[in-house]
Amino acid sequence: MPSRILRAATLIECATRARNSSPVTDMNPSAPSPKRRWRRAAIALLSLALLGAGAYFAWSKYLAKPDEASAYQFTSVSRGDIEDVVTATGMLQPRDYVDVGAQVSGQLKKIHIEVGSEVKAGELLAEIDPIVLQSRVDATRAQLRNLRAQLMQRESDRRLADLQLRRQRNLMAEDATTADALQTAEATQLGAQAQVEALKAQIDQTESNLRADEANLNYARIYAPITGTVVSITARQGQTLIASQQAPVILRVADLSTMTVQTQVSEADVSRLTLGMDAYFTTLGGEGRRWQGTLRKIEPTPVVQNNVVLYNALFDVSNPEQALMTQMTAQVFFVVAAAHDALLVPMSAFAATPRATRTAAGGSATGGGEVRPARPRPPTSGTAGPRHRTVRVAAADGTLQERRVEVGVSNRVQAQVLSGLEEGERVVSGAALRSDAPAAARRTPRL
């Protein structure tokens, strides 16, 4: 740079001399005119100014002692809130819901509700065609009446057998009949009694069958088991339902006043969760609204998806306005630790080790003059108790001082300072790029 300035000054002086050497009309060319002397003085002053600027630039860039603080970026200690959280993705489901099915087979004759209907417990939801079920009830009732009529006949035969047995015993007491006739009367009476008991058993069995048939007939009318909202209907009116092996699901009734967030947490983070810890989540389109809850359950059996082990963590949230709906996606945050109105510094401030700061102040050890920040090694986030770290603080005289601070709650971005720093103090947060660094190094990357 100084050589360029000297060459420019030389060219200006040569051009001036060439201009002055042109023929003039003055009778005494050896005596310079006042105008010519003024030009020479101006050129000389300009040359001296250029030489002085070049010398100062060379001295400040190559000979002056570099300012230690100019090699770093600084961040002021500020106050704010900080949270150490475990993030996961969850899905909303009603906490209390019932899949309503059909206990009998038949054609779905009528559906009295639709998706989104509010129903009360005991309200009629749907009806199955009851013709076949009603005919079974009628047949069982007719069979029961027949058995009762037979019972009356058998009881009459038993009473006759009782009279004949009493008569034979009286005659036997007067020795007016034979022992064979008495034995025959006793056998006849026992047989009549046995037939009565058999018919009574058949009547009990038929009455039981009648109760089952009447219950099946009642099952043809499907009622709401709980108070809630109809969230889905899987069957259609006119569809034939076959309930021989399992009850086909017709619809689902759910209580939407309380929702459960089913969250899948990775195996790397599940050890940081504890029952009863605070949790909150946001939803797509929720405009940043936070829904609060408390972790109530961690299922021990994991779910493996694409060789990733995930554990289900559940917590409930009140939904009185029913703004939350089934199957909504939730971005969940489990609060491991939190601090409010705390002194905060960036985690990058802890990466400025003494070795890193010396390298940044003196330039790269490999040459080239580019300042390269040390690879950051921030402390592990969490709240395993206060920890001590070292930061570099800008003093009033422009020098840097190493200071040991006590760190509380921390995450991947910031850390809480319990002691060692005051609000407003400036700490080193990284190395500054030199002005002569390559353009690619100075360019801020686009995210």
pLDDT in the model for residue 444: 42
Residues 404 and 419 in one domain: yes
Q: Tell me, yes or no, if the pTM score tops 0.75.
A: no
Tens-digit pLDDT profile for residues 90-126? 999 999 999 999 999 999 999 999 999 999 999 999 9
- Split into its structural domains, the chain has a count of 3
Domain assignment present for residue 59? The answer is: yes
- Written as six digits, the tokens of 439 are 């353009």
pLDDT in the model for residue 125: 95
* Helix, coil or strand: residue 9: helix
Domain assignment present for residue 246? The answer is: no
pLDDT in the model for residue 44: 76
- Written as six digits, the tokens of 335 are 């609060």
Nearest to 394 by CA among 422, 426, 421: 426
pLDDT in the model for residue 359: 41
Buried b (16+ CB within 10 A) or exposed e, 133-158: beebbeebeebbeebeebbeebbebb
pLDDT in the model for residue 141: 95
Q: What percent of the chain has pLDDT over 90?
A: 53
Domain assignment present for residue 438? The answer is: yes
Residues 76 and 10 in one domain: no
* Helix, coil or strand: residue 52: helix
Nearest to 346 by CA among 129, 77, 145, 130: 77
The burial class, CB within 10 Å (0-12 / 13-18 / 19+), for 82 is buried
How many whole angstroms separate alpha carbon 406 and alpha carbon 387?
6
- Helices marked H in 174-273: 179-219
Higher pLDDT, 354 or 230: 230
- Of the pLDDT bands very low, low, confident and very high (cuts 50, 70, 90), residue 152 is very high
Least confident stretch, 229-233, 352-356, 361-365, 400-404: 361-365
pLDDT in the model for residue 394: 86
Nearest to 105 by CA among 131, 139, 140: 131
Residues 77 and 137 in one domain: no
Q: What is the mean pLDDT of residues 125-147?
A: 94
Residues 351 and 366 in one domain: yes
Domain assignment present for residue 73? The answer is: yes
Tens-digit pLDDT profile for residues 29-52? 555 567 677 777 777 777 777 777
Query: Taking the C-alpha atoms of 118, 120, 122 and 124 in order, what is their torsion angle to the nearest 10 degrees?
Result: -30
- Of the pLDDT bands very low, low, confident and very high (cuts 50, 70, 90), residue 156 is very high
Domain boundary among 32, 64, 96: 64
How many whole angstroms separate alpha carbon 68 and alpha carbon 358?
9
- pLDDT reading at 25 higher than 70: no
Domain assignment present for residue 280? The answer is: no
Residues 351 and 409 in one domain: yes
Angle subtended at Cα 440 by Cα 436 and Cα 443, rounded to the nearest 5 degrees: 90
Residues 346 and 434 in one domain: yes
Residues 58 and 145 in one domain: no
Q: What is the mean pLDDT of residues 221-242?
A: 92
Mean pLDDT score across all residues of the chain? 81
Instruction: Name the helix (H) or strand (E) containing 82.
Output: strand 78-101
How many whole angstroms separate alpha carbon 298 and alpha carbon 315?
9
Tens-digit pLDDT profile for residues 183-199? 999 999 999 999 999 99
- Of the pLDDT bands very low, low, confident and very high (cuts 50, 70, 90), residue 11 is low
pLDDT in the model for residue 361: 38
Angle subtended at Cα 400 by Cα 398 and Cα 401, rounded to the nearest 5 degrees: 130
Q: How far is CA 29 from CA 21, 37, 43, 221, in A?
A: 10, 13, 20, 130
Backbone angles phi, psi at 96, to 5 degrees: -115, 120
Residues 78 and 157 in one domain: no
Residues 132/106, Cβ–Cβ less than 8 Å: yes
How many whole angstroms separate alpha carbon 387 and alpha carbon 401?
20
CB atoms within 10 A of CB 75: 16
Domain assignment present for residue 117? The answer is: no
- Written as six digits, the tokens of 246 are 């399992």
Residues 6 or more apart whose Cβ sits within 8 Å of residue 275: 295, 296, 297, 298
Q: What percent of the chain has pLDDT over 70?
A: 77
Pairing of strands 221-223, 124-128: antiparallel
Residues 421/391, Cβ–Cβ less than 8 Å: yes
Residues 167 and 185 in one domain: yes
Domain boundary among 219, 236, 254: 219
Amino acid, single-letter form, for residue 73: Q
Tens-digit pLDDT profile for residues 240-278? 888 876 778 999 999 999 999 999 999 999 999 999 999
- pLDDT reading at 442 higher than 50: no
Which residue carries 């100075």 as its tokens?
A: 442
- Of the pLDDT bands very low, low, confident and very high (cuts 50, 70, 90), residue 350 is confident
Least confident stretch, 126-135, 150-159, 186-195, 389-398: 389-398
* Helix, coil or strand: residue 256: strand
Domain assignment present for residue 76? The answer is: yes
Domain assignment present for residue 290? The answer is: no
Nearest to 380 by CA among 341, 407, 342, 345: 407
- Of the pLDDT bands very low, low, confident and very high (cuts 50, 70, 90), residue 375 is very low
How many whole angstroms separate alpha carbon 196 and alpha carbon 190?
10
CB atoms within 10 A of CB 350: 23
Q: Where in the sequence is the domain holding 167, given as residue range(s)?
A: 130-219
- Written as six digits, the tokens of 396 are 């009033």
How many whole angstroms separate alpha carbon 125 and alpha carbon 134?
20
Distance of CA 324 to the CA centre of its chain: 14
- pLDDT reading at 305 higher than 80: yes
Residues 149 and 204 in one domain: yes
| CATH code: domain of residue 411 | 2.40.420.20
Residues 3 and 76 in one domain: no
- Of the pLDDT bands very low, low, confident and very high (cuts 50, 70, 90), residue 288 is confident
